[in-house]
Amino acid sequence: MKTWSINSWRKKPAKHLPLYENEAKLNEVLKEISKFPPLVFAGETRTLKQMLADVSEGKAFLFQGGDCAESFEEFLPDNIRDLFKVILQVSLILTVSSHLPIIKVGRVAGQFSKPRSSPTEVINGKELPSYLGDNINSMKFDSEHRKPDPIRLLRAYSQSAATLNLLRAFSQGGFADLSKVHLWNMDFVNDSANKKFKDIQDKVSEALNFMNACGITIEQNRRLRTVNFYTSHEALHLPFEEAMTRVDSTTGEHHDTSAHFLWIGDRTRQIDGAHVEFCKGIKNPIGIKCGPTLDPSELIKLLDILNPENEAGRITLISRFGFDKVKKNLPKLIQAVKKGNKKVVWSCDPMHGNTIKAPSGYKTRPFENIISEVKQFFEVHHNEGTYAGGLHIEMTGKNVTECIGGAQNITDKDLSNRYHTHCDPRLNANQAIELAFLISEEIKKNSKFSINSIKKAS
């Protein structure tokens, strides 16, 4: 750690960083951003880390969800409200099944930059740089719009600040009040999901009436009126993350104040690479995406570098293998982590390993494969005696048609109806809620694998 500094990543090989034509302009923008107010505070980030430490012991469950890539075009208050609403609904369903607190983390208020499988895109024989996220270039397919433009970082900062402002208002200002749970309905959610959710709302109302009769009122209990909501994104655009990193005056620690939680992508987790170097020195909780090419010994090295003190809550391992690869790949990673006595949260991203190209040409994800990966994730953990601690989903509160299947039975020919994503296909509100109901049995079994239960049993 002696050699770490806020910009020591610059001496390491970095993948998936944009190349700006005008470096002087980029530096000017970064200098400006480095003087902007932080988006989150170190104290909040520490609280989240503590909550994730609880997850690592099986005392809570993590739910992380939001867009694959936020965009300037889809930046609308209703979209933020609907995403927040579905996260609350999913969390309520998961609470009822697990009887545990659900730690709510949005992929929001800063999730812009994307690693792409190819640096260029070819359409009708014309080749241009790939779209890298709205904070870097534009989706419009012409050479001017595809050039990385530093000014976009300023717009992304301001969008993140406004998004976070609204989310803070919703979390603390009464929207999340449990006595208003009936207002969280979504108009288009199908009958069966609606009926099941209505049953939960009735249960909540009954419980609140009972507590009220016992003299425990919502007015007196802030916890029933508000929720803690955290933000996250991939720590990909290192120049921006560096500009947002500040020293916390109360502890002297470095915190990346662009979000509470940051993760390292499956394509940028090289042990000697710039992204790992940067994340090593910031004190935020860090996620590591674990795909099929991650070797168990490499994972242990990553944990030693990123969490040398083996601090609980610091690391969340987000597995994303694909439904047909979980059983082959996940057990060996779990066994290595168990052998090394490493404290981690295990979370499941059932999206990124299950992307296919539909015959229509759209990128999509079959809902049944997503469910299958989640169910196998729980099964593998339970066979290994470990706690399956979280879910990481690409989703939106809107009624989009991007992933095929689910109760609405979205087919390939429906995809073109409302395909709005700027990158990967997301679950719509209906599918996200359905997923939460479909895994209730797995979540119920999960409690046996908390550290307390294991200690009691042995």
Q: How far is the CB of 202 from ligand PEP (least distance, A)?
A: 36
Tell me the backbone φ, ψ of residue 337, rounded to 5 degrees.
-65, -40
The one-letter code for the residue type at 412 is: D
Looking at beta carbons only, is 58 or 366 nearer to Co ion?
366
How many other C-beta atoms are found inside a 10 Å radius of the C-beta of residue 40? 23
User: Which of 347, 371, 387, 355 is CA-nearest to residue 436?
Assistant: 371
Looking at beta carbons only, is 181 or 393 nearer to ligand PEP?
393
Mark 308-347 with x for binding to ligand PEP (rule: CB under 6 A) and - for no binding.
------------x---------------------------
Report how far residue 160's alpha carbon sits from residue 179's, in angstroms, rounded to the nearest whole number: 29
Q: How far is the CB of 363 from Co ion (least distance, A)?
A: 10
Should residue 233 be labelled a site residue for ligand PEP when binding is judged by CB under 6 A?
A: no
Report how far residue 40's alpha carbon sits from residue 429's, in angstroms, rounded to the nearest whole number: 27
Q: How far is the CB of 423 from Co ion (least distance, A)?
A: 5
Both structure tokens of 285? 């909780």
Q: How far is the CB of 14 from ligand PEP (least distance, A)?
A: 15
Q: List the single partner that 104 binds among Co ion, ligand PEP, none, CB under 5 to 8 Å by kind.
A: none
Q: List the single partner that 264 binds among Co ion, ligand PEP, none, CB under 5 to 8 Å by kind.
A: none
Mark 345-384 with x for binding to ligand PEP (rule: CB under 6 A) and - for no binding.
-------x--------------------------------
Q: Give the one residue of 6, 68, 380, 388 binding ligand PEP; rule: CB under 6 A.
A: 68
Looking at beta carbons only, is 119 or 385 nearer to ligand PEP?
119
Give DSSP secondary structure letters for 248-263: -TTT--EEETT-SEEE
Looking at beta carbons only, is 254 or 365 nearer to ligand PEP?
365
Report how far residue 405's alpha carbon sits from residue 285's, in angstroms, rounded to the nearest whole number: 34
Report how far residue 354's alpha carbon sits from residue 151's, in angstroms, rounded to the nearest whole number: 34
Report how far residue 134's alpha carbon sits from residue 147's, in angstroms, rounded to the nearest whole number: 11
Both structure tokens of 220? 């007196």
In the complex, residue closest to ligand PEP by CB? 265
User: Which of 395, 108, 318, 52 is CA-nearest to residue 231?
Assistant: 108
Looking at beta carbons only, is 181 or 423 nearer to ligand PEP?
423
Q: How far is the CB of 68 from ligand PEP (least distance, A)?
A: 5
CB 354 within 8 A of CB 322: yes
Around 236, how many Cα atoms within 13 Å sit in the side-chain half-sphere?
Answer: 24
Q: List the single partner that 233 binds among ligand PEP, Co ion, none, CB under 5 to 8 Å by kind.
A: none
CA-derived radius of gyration, the chain: 21
Both structure tokens of 299? 């994972």
Should residue 296 be labelled a site residue for ligand PEP when binding is judged by CB under 6 A?
A: no
The one-letter code for the residue type at 168 is: R
Q: Give the one residue of 265, 285, 366, 405 binding ligand PEP; rule: CB under 6 A.
A: 265
Residue ranges in 104-123 that form contacts with ligand PEP under rule CB under 6 A: 115
- Provide the binding-site residues for ligand PEP, judged by CB under 6 A: 68, 115, 234, 265-267, 289, 320, 352
